[in-house]
């Protein structure tokens, strides 16, 4: 073994590199297409881009040359106002991803277990294992709900965290209250990832006051179009908040993100109308896909749609679409065989996608 490699933490070199997503300019170059031909429907981002008002305020931002407030005082107050809680219930981070990492860092000793229900957001496995934890992965039902009647059969010994996602990425499935209640009654940290809350409008954050083991995650990456600025937050009981504030890197929410999130929270009507449009577009695409033979389309409360190809090859279609600049997410795991996930783009983008997709599908 190389000497340098022997210094690395056990297992790091065997880990898969996270996320195959490639930036649009690099894809365009690789495919020999103009950047304007790229329709990015693979990461559930806001297809309208950063709001004009946000760009304007970023151009006027005064304090980009100084460090942000490590106590996040103003940011936490603003987010708390939006989330309907107190500032001491909030920690902001460089995306919800950073919050998941901080939760693992706070709780896990080597070998501690974390429970998830697969298929779900793939970063959970990555970050749990990176933090020395071991993932207990229970398969979901065929419709991707969590089997509430089988919960008591799960061996919960040694499990310190359960990671639940609502709506679940990539299936779009909502977490049922019965399932949540089961875990809230156990001695473990219950994390509900509500990254797509603005689309589902359904939240469990109201239960935090009465449950000291519940933590809800949200993000500015999806509805608010700030994925590239990296900002998300957790809503949690004050004791957890105090502990996470102690261990977080001091400046991970940068000044530009601070400025941008403030503007987003002031533009409620603007984003509400974008969300309304995206939901209408999503439902139109679900209807179009469902009407085509050979596709099994799952309902979604989010800004993406999961579907299974019953006969054609999902990989071949994903690759053929990519050659034309339309990017989708392809899955082929034991529970997601021959599946594709398409993010909801603009009306025009989805028209292009549907036309290309059906042409390629019919030709297969």
Is residue 219 within the footprint of ligand PLP (CB under 6 A)? Answer: yes
d(CA 249, CA 94) in angstroms, rounded, equals 10
Of the candidates 342, 340, 265, the residue with the CA atom closest to the CA atom of residue 303: 342
| 304 is a contact residue toward ligand PLP (CB under 6 A) | no
Q: At its nearest, how many Å lie between ligand PLP and the CB of residue 65?
A: 25
Q: Which is nearer to ligand PLP, 189 or 360 (CB)?
A: 189
Question: What is the per-residue binding string for ligand PLP in 88-127, x denoting contact by CB under 6 A?
Answer: -------xxx-----------------------x------
Which one of residues 72, 89, 213, 221 is an interface residue with ligand PLP (CB under 6 A)?
221
Q: Binder to ligand PLP among 42, 78, 101, 193 (CB under 6 A)?
A: 193
Sign of CA dihedral 130, 132, 133, 139: positive
Does the footprint of ligand PLP cover residue 166 (CB under 6 A)? no
- The kind and range of the H/E element at 308 are strand 304-309
**Under the criterion CB under 6 A, does residue 169 sit at the interface with ligand PLP?**
yes
Q: From CA 363, how far away is CA 356, in angstroms rounded?
A: 11
Going by C-beta distance under 8 Å and a sequence separation of 6 or more, which residues neighbour residue 203? 194, 197, 216
Report helix angle 95-107 to 123-130, nearest 10. Answer: 40
Among 44, 89, 300, 349, binds ligand PLP (CB under 6 A): 44
Query: Does 232 contact ligand PLP by CB under 6 A?
Result: yes
CB 232 within 8 A of CB 99: yes
Indicate the SS3 state at residue 231. Answer: coil
**Segments of 94-222 assigned E as strands:** 113-118, 134-139, 159-165, 189-193, 214-219
If binding is defined by CB under 6 A, does position 72 make contact with ligand PLP?
no
Supply the minimum distance, in Å, between the C-beta of residue 197 and ligand PLP: 10
Minimum CB distance to ligand PLP, residue 259 (Å): 17
Among 175, 195, 260, 305, binds ligand PLP (CB under 6 A): 195
Binding site for ligand PLP (CB under 6 A): 44, 95-97, 121, 165, 169, 193, 195, 219, 221, 227, 232
């Amino acid at each position: 073994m190389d000497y340098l490699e022997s210094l690395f933490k056990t297992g790091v070199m065997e880990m898969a590199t996270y996320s195959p997503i490639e930036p649009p300019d690099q894809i365009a170059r690789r495919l020999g297409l103009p950047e304007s031909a790229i329709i990015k429907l693979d990461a559930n981002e806001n297809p309208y881009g950063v709001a004009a008002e946000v760009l304007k305020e970023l151009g006027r931002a005064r304090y980009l040359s100084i460090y942000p407030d490590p106590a996040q005082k103003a940011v936490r107050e603003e987010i708390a106002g939006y989330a309907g809680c107190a500032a001491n219930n909030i920690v902001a981070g460089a995306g919800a991803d950073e919050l998941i990492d901080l939760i693992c860092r706070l709780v896990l000793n080597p070998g501690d277990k974390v429970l998830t229900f697969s298929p779900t957001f793939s970063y959970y496995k990555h970050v749990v294992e990176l933090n020395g934890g071991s993932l207990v992965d229970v398969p979901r039902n065929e419709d991707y709900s969590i089997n509430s009647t089988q919960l008591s059969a799960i061996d919960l010994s040694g499990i310190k965290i359960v990671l639940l996602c609502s709506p679940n990425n990539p299936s779009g499935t909502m977490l049922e209250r019965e399932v949540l209640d089961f875990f809230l009654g156990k001695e473990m940290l219950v994390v509900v990832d509500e990254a797509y809350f603005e689309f589902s409008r359904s939240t469990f954050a109201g239960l935090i006051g009465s449950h000291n083991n519940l933590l809800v995650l949200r993000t500015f990456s999806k509805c608010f179009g700030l994925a590239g600025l990296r900002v998300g937050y957790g809503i949690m009981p004050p004791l957890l908040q105090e502990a996470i504030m102690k261990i977080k890197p001091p400046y991970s929410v940068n000044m530009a993100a601070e400025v941008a999130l403030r503007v987003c929270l002031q533009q409620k009507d603007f984003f509400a109308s974008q969300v309304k449009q995206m939901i209408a577009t999503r439902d139109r695409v679900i209807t179009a896909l469902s009407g085509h033979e050979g596709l099994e389309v799952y309902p979604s409360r989010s800004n993406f749609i999961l579907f299974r190809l019953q006969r054609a090859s999902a990989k071949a279609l994903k690759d053929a679409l990519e050659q034309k600049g339309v990017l989708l997410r392809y899955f082929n795991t034991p529970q997601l065989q021959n599946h594709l996930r398409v993010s909801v783009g603009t009306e025009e983008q989805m028209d292009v996608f549907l036309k290309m997709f059906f042409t390629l599908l019919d030709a297969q």
